[in-house]
Amino acid sequence: MVALSDGAYLINGVNNKLLRHKIFNGDADSKRNINKTTRLIAKLKAHKLIKKVPKKNRYYVTANGRKIINSILLYTNKTLLNVA
């Protein structure tokens, strides 16, 4: 989710290779990680968080997807205070 929320992809979008290198730093070109990224893109498309550019291998984060991704990132990065 952090990789998709990067502002660098707002104009040109993101493809499998860029997303894979952002997620898997060291071993981005292994067959396993390529397949993992493809499945991740399919899940994000199914939930309508990203949209494919026609006739290109690029994807854009939808407006609703930006809202949901930002909410998830805010929630997961929030620390819970120990109230005792």
Which CATH number fits the domain that encloses residue 22? 1.10.10.10
Residue 83 lies in a domain: no
**What is the total count of domains within the chain?**
1
Residue 79 lies in a domain: no
Q: Is residue 3 part of a domain?
A: no
Assess whether pLDDT exceeds 50 at residue 83: no
pLDDT in tens, 14-32: 999 888 888 888 788 889 9
Block residue for tokens 């997961």: 76
CA dihedral (10, 15, 17, 19) in degrees, to 10, reads 50
Give this prediction's pTM: 0.79
Parent domain of 17:
9-73
Neighbours of 46 (CB within 10 A): 9
Q: Copy the structure tokens of residue 40.
A: 């991740």
The strand ranges marked E within 1-84 are 50-52, 59-61
